[in-house]
Chains A and B, each alone.
Chain A
Amino acid sequence: MKAVKGKFFSRGVHLQGRKSLSETQAVETLEGVTEVAIALSQHIGKPALPVVEVGQAVKRGQLIAKADGFISANVHASIAGIVKAVEQRPDGKGGKSTYVVIERAETDETDFMPPLENPTAEEIVERVAAAGIVGMGGAGFPTNVKLMPRSKVDTLVLNGAECEPYLTCDHRLMVEQTEKIVRGAKYVATALGIEKIVIGIEVNKPDAIALFEQTDLDVCALKKQYPMGSEKHLIYCATGRKVPLGKLPADAGVIVQNVGTVLAVCEAVEEGKPLIERVVTVSGTGIEQPRNLLCPVGAPLSALAEQCGGVKEDAVKYVAGGPMTGNALVGLTSYVSKTSSGYLFLSAKETNTYEPTPCINCGKCADVCPMSLMPMQTEFYTNAGDYQKADVYGGVLSCIECGACTYICPARRPLAQAIKTAKAELRKSK
């Protein structure tokens, strides 16, 4: 066990990690994908514009949709084949979005960009944009935009905290692809024109910490605490700086990148490979064999479940993402996107659902809130319909939606839901 370095924030919750299900499983490649459905909107910002026609043959890595505007990202074909359709499909979360459906062909041709040698800062930013790289931690913010900060930055923080229970994809990447992550981080640092790179890893991943200590990156062993992977808290713990309220990390002189993102940057620069595949953790006690799978973007969830031995009968909840912030799925109809970190199949024992009981004003939600908000006030005023007061007393607009308050609530109040409602209402009225 490595000693905890850096600062730590006094709030947050201690969750059962449940990472042992999949943390020792080496990354496997997903086999037997015959059809992928690649969403046009896998990032924050405008959906990409399709540039392929139905019936057209595409190679692996070929551009199929280009970025529309500044905050948007390119999308590439993840398998070689024929475009079957560009259509609306249910996204598994209850809504619909537009997908480019590609059916696998016999040939397996690739169409990557030429590798770059000793790239300059501009070349790297250009390549990152061309490769359609977005933040792979979950937010999906286009990385090239992040590489052009408005204010001066001096530190790059790599996010290897992976504080969500169950998820182990970043952990496996850090153990298996250490060198590539280090090189990718250096490309990102070059693009930003900075020297200092810190990688923050929670102490529950001692093997990853040991590997990175052999490299020339600064390693910050973080306390195991949820939500350590939140950008603001990671910056505070790794560098001791507080991001001013309502500002971006760049305003504190820091850029945060997920370890998966810098790996994608490395591959884009050295191999010319766009972001067409990622590691996805399939876990939970509702699946036969929890695994970490390297999946092409757009792979259907059913193919992942099949390779993991199938879904057990007692799985009552399918979740896309981590258990604290992920979305519940309405079935197996979901497709891997650039931001999918995991799919969880939870049994009734794991995903306990309770009836809400009256708030007893115990204050535990405020004790654990990493942003020092007052969720009970928010819920009270939201239920009363007074969203302005919900912000004044509860601080809704600063909420990072980590779900810690709802996790800890002994009265089982739906606090996170109330906060999301208040946020939406406040944004609407602005």
Chain B
Amino acid sequence: MNQKLIVSTAPHVRTSRSTKQIMLDVLIALIPATVMGIVLFGWEAALIIGLAVVSAALTEFVYYVIQHKIWKNPKEVVLSFFKQFDFTSLITGLLLALVIPASAEHWYMPVLGSIFAIAVVKMLFGGTGKNIINPALGGRIFLFISFTAMTVYPATTDLLGRFGSVSVSELNTGATALQSFLQGGETLSAIDLLIGSTVAGCIGETCKIALIVGGIYLCIRGVIKWYLPLIYILTTGLFAVVLEGFDFNAFLPSILGGGLILGAIFMATDYTTTPKSKLGNIIYFFLLGLLTAGLRKATGIEVVSFCIVLMNFLVFLIDALIKCRPFGYKKEKKQKEAK
């Protein structure tokens, strides 16, 4: 026998599904939202998306090669980078672009956001799986507090009336549909909000249908659990109804306006920044819903990204509170021990 035998502990078979494939699924799920963003906001949106994605990947590359001392062994380090590359930075870049308004006045805004998201939020904490807050949201908040352009959103054209390529300068800019609703202004119809017609907002968040299609794909592929985004969205909607004094007219605008659907499906479900256990996740998404509706009411602006980041910090607390309950575990046993 010349051949080497592999000796390792059980199990000897593994699923073929890897981290890379999961991340690829997330990218695929983001395609409808990306395409709709480009259709609705024109070439400027495409430029922002391209810049954000490329700079995110480049940032990871540069960080990795410096971290692994490229000057010592250039070829090997570059090869090992591509071997461990798992598309997470592409997702971060794409998600970041989708939460930037298409009217971003400087080309370097998405670039700066991506660099901050990857280098500071993700890589400084140890890379994939180690970040404390969602990198894309970290990048968005960094841009939000740095540029006033992040607070002015262009509105999409009337999809039902006119359909065609547009340029951002032609579009109306102003407060988002959610903001005008929160501040007591006029609200758009639910249909308009759902398909993203005449809605002011970020590139990816306006067309809810595209986001929901992506979300359904993720659920079917087993990447996210269907009930978690639903808990978030419903809790937000219902708590908003309660806060408005049981005015059920507030339900649809609060869940369809703003970035709630994008946040619930793609941002809040980020594996790394959610609790580990099933119960923990349910608590996390429920609290997230309460926080979002409450802060929206208190501030009058869109706060989904801040709420998710705030809750990200609570993940460790939730994890520390939930202990393991194996199959066959009985509660009365615990009470006996307490006595």
Name A's B-contacting residues (CB within 8 A): 9, 13, 15-16, 94, 165, 232-233, 236, 242-245, 247, 313, 315-319, 321, 323-332, 344, 346, 350-354, 357-363, 366-367, 370-374, 376-377, 392-395, 398, 401, 403, 406-412, 414, 416-417, 420
Contacts and interface: CB of A to CB of B under 8 A. Distances in A.
A165 to B, nearest CB: 7
A165 B6 contact: no
Question: Which of the listed residues B1, B9, B272, B325 has the most CB atoms from chain A within 10 Å of its own CB?
Answer: B9
A315 B2 CA distance: 11
A410 B328 contact: no
A14 B184 CA distance: 52
A328 B6 contact: yes
B9 A372 contact: no
Contact of B5 (A9, A247, A323, A330): A330
A243 B329 CA distance: 9
Contact of A361 (B274, B323, B327): B274
A357 B19 contact: yes
B276 A420 contact: no
Contacts of A318: 5
B130 interface: yes
A328 B7 contact: yes
Contacts of A394: 324
Nearest to B326: A398
Interface in B1-22: 1, 3-19, 21-22
B22 A420 contact: no
Contact of A362 (B4, B9, B11, B22): B22
B183 interface: no
Nearest to A357: B19
Interface string B196-231: 000000000000000000000000000000000000
Given A247-B328, A358-B129, A412-B18, 6 more contacts: A15-B13, A243-B328, A328-B10, A354-B14, A363-B276, A395-B325
B192 interface: no
B225 to A, nearest CB: 9
Interface string B80-91: 000010100000
B167 interface: no
Contacts of A328: 5-10, 12
Contacts of B126: 358
Contacts of B324: 372-374, 377, 392-395
B328 A232 contact: yes
A370 B17 CA distance: 20
The main secondary structure of chain B at its interface with chain A is loop
A13 B222 CA distance: 13
Contact of B128 (A232, A244, A360, A398): A360
Contacts of B3: 313, 315-316
Interface residues of B, number: 45
Given A317-B6, A318-B5, A360-B272, A366 B129 contact: no
B277 interface: yes
Contacts of B12: 317, 319, 323-324, 326, 328, 344, 346, 351
A331 B328 contact: no
B327 A406 contact: no
B271 A363 contact: yes
A411 B129 contact: yes
A412 B319 CA distance: 22
Contacts of B326: 245, 371-373, 395, 398
A100 B211 CA distance: 68
Tell me which of B7, B281, B319, B324 has the highest count of chain A C-beta atoms within 10 A of its own C-beta: B324
B294 interface: no
Contacts of A372: 324-327, 329
B73 to A, nearest CB: 18
A398 B329 CA distance: 10
B336 interface: no
Contacts of B6: 316-317, 328, 351, 353
B22 A410 contact: yes
A366 B276 contact: yes
3 pairs of A and B residues whose beta carbons are closest in the complex:
A403-B11, A395-B324, A398-B326
A417 B8 CA distance: 10
B75 interface: no
B174 interface: no
B1 A331 contact: yes
A374 B274 CA distance: 15
24 contacts: A9-B327, A94-B7, A233-B327, A317-B5, A318-B5, A323-B13, A324-B11, A328-B7, A330-B5, A330-B7, A332-B1, A352-B13, A358-B126, A361-B272, A361-B276, A366-B276, A372-B325, A372-B329, A377-B276, A401-B10, A406-B11, A407-B11, A407-B15, A410-B18
A392 B323 contact: yes
Given A359-B129, A360-B128, A361-B271, A407 B13 contact: yes
B162 interface: no
A316 B4 contact: yes
Contact of B19 (A15, A324, A351, A360): A360
Interface string B169-205: 0000000000000000000000000000000000000
Contact of A374 (B5, B276, B327): B276
Among A315, A344, A354, A363, the one with the most B-chain Cβ atoms within 10 Å of its Cβ is A363
A363 B22 CA distance: 13
Nearest to A400: B327
Contacts of A411: 18-19, 129
B69 interface: no
A359 B324 CA distance: 19
A321 B11 CA distance: 11
A300 to B, nearest CB: 15
Nearest to B323: A392
Contacts of B13: 15-16, 165, 323-324, 346, 350-352, 407
Interface string B17-50: 1110110000000000000000000000000000
B323 A393 contact: yes
B72 interface: no
A406 B277 contact: no
A362 B271 contact: yes
A354 B18 CA distance: 10
B276 A352 contact: no
Interface in B300-327: 319, 322-327
Contacts of A371: 326-328
A148 B331 CA distance: 30
B81 to A, nearest CB: 13
B330 interface: yes
Contacts of A9: 327
Contacts of A15: 13
B8 to A, nearest CB: 6
Contacts of B272: 360-361
A416 to B, nearest CB: 6
> Counting chain A CB atoms within 10 Å of each CB, which of B4, B10, B130 scores highest?
B10
